[in-house]
Structure 1
Amino acid sequence: MAIRTEGIKIACDNRKAWHDYFIHERVEAGFALQGTEVKSLRAGKANLKDCYAKIINNEVFVIGMHISPYEHGNIFNHDPLRTRKLLLHKSEILKIDSKMKQKGFTLIPLKVYFVRGRVKIELALASGKKNYDKRQDLADKASKRDVERALKERQRDY
């Protein structure tokens, strides 16, 4: 399934995931949320740090995602760290589950966003990076930045 890039409003993203994991495949899923959770997401009061998704009884749940209680809510406000169900087709769940069992992937959320008023989450099948992989990525990023800087200076001289 193709991930949309236009017409979306990002509520929160997990930038650290790109540092800690190799991202192999991405999937878009819906959320089963309460009303005050949606209002908090619209205000950008969510955090994807240290959360992950898990398949339990052929259903996908996101665990450890923090959505702050709605400021103008009342006694019906939600629990910030509750386990939330994700909405995927059964065939997609089975495909993800087989890949997770076969290759040792983990399922992590990358970002939460709105598409035409609906809350969506982008999940990634990922494998963990070792410390030497992280150092290599940082070195590659630094060398690429240096090359770009040198090219920019070179163009300015002409």
Structure 2
Amino acid sequence: MARPTPATFDKKKTVAENRRARFDYYIDEVFEAGIALTGTEVKSLRFGEGSIAESYAEVRDGQVWLVNSNVPEFSHGNRFNHEPKRPRKLLLHEREIGKLTGAVERKGMTLVPLSIYFNGRGRAKVELALAKGKNAADKRQTIKERDWKREQSRLLRDHG
């Protein structure tokens, strides 16, 4: 019997999205990871602030860390505020961490965060992708395909 396809992630509120990731990388597999945050970080994210445009994830000492993501300080956080660009621990199962470690070390793949969002239960999650980088020719091909699809839909709409 075939294994059932997993349901897509339950995204209620997307806070930050890395739109450039799908252009720069071939997305192989996508994981949903929890993220360990402090109170003021959660409040900043709930207000829709935060960026993962130039961030990446790395595996260190059997743990996965989100590096270079920016969650600005909370305006009413006083002395308990957080550091905006600190590394944040991602919460994954051990089996998933092993899979990611193997792919990064053996296959030369990269861990790219695609988005940060709140799920249906109000928990902050990161959509993490196992990806392989594209070269310049591949990016040009992607642009060509995107433009052709846009032109195709325009033609169908006008003459269809």
Q: Quick one: structure 1 residues 67 and 2, their matched pair in 2 at CA, closer, same or farther if it must change by over 3 Å?
A: farther
RMSD: 1.3
The Cα shift of 1:71 comes to: 1.1
The Cα shift of 1:2 comes to: 3.7
- 1:37-80 Cα deviation digits (max 9, x unpaired): 00000111101011100100100000000000001111100000
2:104 to 100, 119, 131: 100
- 1:95-139 Cα deviation digits (max 9, x unpaired): 111111221100010000001110000100011111111111011
The residue aligned with 1:70 is: 74
Q: Give runs of aligned pairs for residues 7-156 of structure 1, distance below 5 A.
A: 8-115=12-119, 116-155=121-160
Is contact 2:35–2:88 with CA below 8 Å preserved after alignment?
yes
Q: Quick one: structure 1 residues 91 and 46, their matched pair in 2 at CA, closer, same or farther if it must change by over 3 Å?
A: same
Q: Secondary structure at the match of 1:29?
A: strand
Is contact 2:15–2:117 with CA below 8 Å preserved after alignment?
yes
The Cα shift of 1:4 comes to: 3.4
Distance 2:70 2:113 in 1: 12
Q: Secondary structure at the match of 1:78?
A: coil
- Percent identity over paired residues: 45
Q: Quick one: structure 1 residues 7 and 106, their matched pair in 2 at CA, closer, same or farther if it must change by over 3 Å?
A: closer
Is contact 1:3–1:28 with CA below 8 Å preserved after alignment?
no
Distance 2:130 2:146 in 1: 23
Is contact 1:3–1:27 with CA below 8 Å preserved after alignment?
no
The Cα shift of 1:3 comes to: 5.8
Runs of at least 5 residues in structure 2 that lack an aligned partner in the other structure = none
Runs of at least 5 residues in structure 1 that lack an aligned partner in the other structure = none
- 1:145 maps to amino acid: R
Moved over 4 A (4+): none
The Cα shift of 1:5 comes to: 4.3
Aligned residues: 155
